[in-house]
Amino acid sequence: MSSFLLKNLHVISPADSLDFTGDLRIADGKFAAIGPVLAPEPGDAVCDLAGLTAFPGLVDMHVHLRDPGLTHKEDILTGCAAAAAGGVTAVACMPNTNPVTDSPEVIRYILEKAASAKARVYPVAAITRGMKGEALTDMAALKAAGAVAVSDDGKPVPSARMMAEGMRLARENGLLPISHCEDLDLIHGGIMHKGSVSEELGVPGMDRASEDSVTAREIALAESTGAPVHIAHVSTAGAVALIRLAKRRGLPVTCETAPHYFLLTHELLRKRDADYRMNPPLREESDRKAVLEGVLDGTIDCIITDHAPHAKEEKADFLKAPNGVVGLETSFAASYTALVKPGLLPLSALIRLMSASPARILGIPGGHIRAGDTADLAVADLAREWTVEPEALHSKSKNTVFKGRNLTGKIVLTLKGGEIVYNIL
């Protein structure tokens, strides 16, 4: 394997209390040495990266790779190439594939295909068979095959009784239950946030109460069962408040949000452009501010993308298009631009939100720079300004909410297991 001596970097790893300017030596796929000044060893490729910042490879615990069965949108290899371009070295992929990821066979297929991918792939299996909400999956078999979590993401588990049983079973098998909080009866065909913009456009809206009510249900189930639950893609002020209170009460509840929820609002939907439609939807300024406050005060545990690719033709019709946006290549820059650049959040806190925290919640390796650990590393030029050009994205799909937007902070080098998987130095 290659060996590198990366010199004069700003090295930051909050989980390891690292924040210094110095060198990293990588050999045999691992961090071999870390220090202010390191001498090269025979065979080292020496790279002077002065002015750049290195941190643990990012961990995105909520992506859709569309593989198997929907590979015209994305596949494991293209999705992981997009991840590498965003400094993401590990992803957890959701189970709404075709067939649904509800069997050991599908788990094995994902892991076998991911063996040559540019990021590590951790499968999330379904809570219910076929994601139909009728019967629980064989979680012991799914865990043995390599699943790290369970979710019916894309839809909720409709029955509270079944969700409670699923949470208990997940706990028994060392799997994290991840809940897509949405009451489909309340949604009733809505395609964007229910508010002034949906009324102006004359389209059905998605009421906040849909997310808030199921969030409250999952918190109640966590208290009743004692089993942990992770709330996916938080987008409302109400959900943030409920989770904040649950944490103050010591309940085993964690949560995530995506950059678009603390950066953007439903005002963008006036364009009637389906690239700004996702589920949950962009909401109002009050929700955006509440999600932002949840990130800043620690209520929200991690930042994910909910990377959800769709083909261009699928997104062409505003009313009929499927929900979802891509985000793997923009998540770090969007978050850095919104949070760190204006001084709202220290860089160390952002890196923790995007690396160590999701790895800890999932119970997977990652989020560290330590001698002897696998060398998953991202390097960024924090001063570099760039414009998001959809056609330049590595994903098969180009449905990004950040198209044409100027961002600051560009990933320039990504290493997975000590090997370069992305490089624009």
Lookup result for tokens 């706990």:
171
In 10 A of CB 250, how many CB atoms? 8
Choosing from 23, 212, 306, 381, the catalytic residue is 306
In contact, 252 and 229? CB cutoff 8 Å: yes
Transcribe 131-189 into DSSP letters: G-SSSB--HHHHHHHT--EE--TTS----HHHHHHHHHHHHHTT-EEEE----HHHHTT
- Known catalytic membership, residue 183: no
- Please list, in sequence order, all residues whose beta carbon lies within 8 angstroms of the beta carbon of residue 71, skipping any fewer than 6 positions away: none
- Please list, in sequence order, all residues whose beta carbon lies within 8 angstroms of the beta carbon of residue 105, skipping any fewer than 6 positions away: none
Output b/e per residue, 136-163; b: 16+ Cβ within 10 A. bbbbeebbebbbbbbbbbbbbbbeeebb
In 10 A of CB 52, how many CB atoms? 20
How far does Cα 292 stand from its chain's mean position? 16
Kindly tell me the burial class for residue 273, based on how many C-beta atoms sit within 10 Å of its own C-beta (0-12, 13-18, 19 or more): middle
Q: Which residues are catalytic?
A: 306
